[in-house]
Structure 1
Amino acid sequence: MNTLATSFHIPEFLHAEVPPEHKGMSRDEVRLMVLQEDEDSAYHKRFEEIDQFLEDGDVIVLNNSRTIPPVLKGCLGKQNVEIRLSRKISTNQWEALLLGTFRQINVPIQFPEGLEATISGLGSEPPLVTLSFSKGGSSLLDYIYRYGEPVRYEYIHHPWPLETYQTVYGAIPGSVEMPSAGRAFTWDLLSKLKAKGVQTTYIQLHAGLSYYEQNRWPNPKNHPEAFNVPEETARLITQAKQNSNRVIAVGTTVVRALESAVNEHGEVKAISGITRLYIDQNHRVITVDGLLTGFHEPEASHLHMLTAFLPEKKLMKAYGEALHKGYLWHEFGDMNLILPAGNLE
């Protein structure tokens, strides 16, 4: 899949830096490109029109992990330090990215109100480290919410509040980056889908950092993330499969969680744990039929997963069309719905 990393370039003006609601739009007024497995041409719509492509009996699976503000600023001796939390390991330990060239084991990083953290080991992969905090549990989470800031990458020039990095249905705190495939949903649109007979259900996958700065990306084959597939979700998916109805994943995180919940008989079962599953064109997706996602950078492993739903050549042709038509990238950008073969309205 190395060919994807050099397959296209995103011009600066297509990096979405402003949330649609700060441009006088509703969240669901972003654009939607619809791709179907057996169709040569894409459909170009508004996201609020997604109901045209969903049917009575379809099940859409959402990730209701809620975003926390993982950027903390402190001091290591006389040096200012910025850390970015990536994954909770225990009640007082997190994998984190430290911005800078220093690495001092067992020398405490000082934060406001007396909070301290020490580098107690390596993370799951370079450049992540394990940080042990002097607080844990709800006290540490409360501190993160009071002093933390959302992750803001170089294409975002304004410090938007945490609420702009939440889906409307996010409920379980834990993601350090928003599961952004569901950002365009509004409660009105979800109600509209329900009235049409489309069922919604939830998983949780707490998303870690997707980028380590300085052109460093997570190793997709060793990127652990905590997930939970509830009993109700497993039941609804099983029922949909039995009734030949479609299951649509909202986001690559949902696909990763559901595929990690498949037992040896190919059935989705309720499960909680840590997944390291890597999905690309060599993985046969069992649990879902379609995928709603954003537009991904060529270096991102999320793009690899899309080739499990569409051939790489067709995917790259569609991305070329999206670039030509001015679709916007990243968490505040436009959306892409990939559907299996069948009749579209």
Structure 2
Amino acid sequence: MTLANEQFEIPTTQSANIPIELTGKSRDSVRMMVLDRKTGQFSNHHFNELDSFLQPGDVVVLNNSRTIPAVLKGKQGKREVEIRLSRRVSAQTWEALIVGGIYSNTKCIEFSNEVTATIEGQGSERPLVVLSFSVGGADFYQFIYKYGEPIRYEYIEHPWPLEAYQTVYASVPGSVEMPSAGRAFTWQLLNRLKKKGIEVVILQLHAGLSYYGNDRWPNPTNHPEAFHIPLHTAKVINQAKKDRRRIIAVGTTVVRAIETVADDNGHVRSGEGTTRLYIKAGMKLKAIDGLITGLHEPEASHLDLLTSLIEKKKLIHAYEAALKQGYLWHEFGDMNLILPIEV
């Protein structure tokens, strides 16, 4: 069950619809609400002050998955269709959403460059389907990078280029939506963190679709996403836990990946796989101590994950304050640092 019963409305004026760097400011100049997960107290800052709230020895974990152009336009017979990729299943097979939901199971979908796709069946949940493309591997990525577009929801009025949907450190293509919690980082800020003695490590979790349209959201109990935890990252996290140092996740994707492979003692193993982990209130996080994240819609299961860090009542109170104070929502919006309890 999500926090959708804790309804709050996000005014259209508080849906960020332009990358802040295109207004002449730096990415890390977005606002940041700092929230104490123990007391629920919060204060208002800017993201470029992040290093003031972290300690030498802290470990910051980034998701370096790179956003792909996941929107493909094609035809099924005479009818135009829009495909939104959601998750890679194999070299030529993807789970995807057919926008509008009107399609034929028997006719192939034709794209530019003579690429076609056939519907192989239902995806991991409705309304997703499994598409088998006529090209795979490097040829498939060459195709989507030439003809695809980034996913853009209704609050984004202008078709910004794919680079606007990348973190500065993104390097491994695979996410259909940007792991946006890391978008506010700049290389200058990352360098300041390292100079302060804060370790920065990476992993990958390729984010799938977070919204299916028409008020349909993914089932949080069955939302598979591929992840990879490098050996170095696991070693750094495990040593930090042994030394009783703090692990700060950048984004709910990082929390999900790490908690999938952490044992009851917080020991993290390296490797790759697919996670279906649903984190919600009452679940004790085994490895993560704090979180850097954006601001989430009331229907999103991301809020459920946040309640594993902080009591729901305190979280909603902070969100109500953020709304009153004009914080901006969505991937180009403002940030929230949930401070860890001292370990």
The alignment's TM-score, normalised by the length of structure 1, stands at 0.97
2:244 aligned partner: 244
1:300 aligned partner: 300
2:339 aligned partner: 339
> Structure 2: 5+ residue runs without aligned partners?
none
Contact 2:2 2:303 in 1 (8 A): no
1:126 aligned partner: 126
- 1: CA distance, partners of 2:49 / 2:85: 36
CA displacement at 1:263 relative to structure 2: 3.5
1:137 aligned partner: 137
2:330 aligned partner: 330
1:34 is aligned to 2:48: no
Q: SS at 1:274's partner residue? A: strand
Q: Following superposition of structure 1 onto structure 2, how do residues 259-278 of structure 1 map, counting pairs within 5 Å?
A: 259-263=259-263, 266-278=266-278
- 2: CA distance, partners of 1:229 / 1:122: 29
For 2:284, give the aligned amino acid. Answer: R
Contact 1:106 1:120 in 2 (8 A): no
Contact 1:280 1:304 in 2 (8 A): yes
For 2:16, give the aligned amino acid. Answer: A
Q: Following superposition of structure 1 onto structure 2, how do residues 312-331 of structure 1 map, counting pairs within 5 Å?
A: 312-331=312-331
Contact 2:241 2:266 in 1 (8 A): no
Q: Percent identity?
A: 57
- 2: CA distance, partners of 1:61 / 1:287: 12
Contact 2:101 2:127 in 1 (8 A): no
CA displacement at 1:342 relative to structure 2: 4.3
Contact 2:76 2:103 in 1 (8 A): no
Q: SS at 2:261's partner residue? A: coil
1:25 aligned partner: 25
The alignment's TM-score, normalised by the length of structure 2, stands at 0.98
Q: How many residues align?
A: 343
**Ranges of 4+ aligned residues in structure 1 off by more than 6 Å:** none
Contact 2:40 2:310 in 1 (8 A): no
1:159 aligned partner: 159
- 2: CA distance, partners of 1:300 / 1:269: 28
- 1: CA distance, partners of 2:259 / 2:341: 21
Which region of structure 1 is more displaced relative to structure 2, 209-218 or 258-267? 258-267
1:116 aligned partner: 116
- 2: CA distance, partners of 1:31 / 1:321: 13
Q: SS at 1:144's partner residue? A: helix
1:8 aligned partner: 8
Contact 1:94 1:132 in 2 (8 A): yes
1:202 aligned partner: 202
For 1:130, give the aligned amino acid. Answer: V
- 2: CA distance, partners of 1:299 / 1:70: 23
CA displacement at 1:2 relative to structure 2: 4.4
For 1:211, give the aligned amino acid. Answer: Y
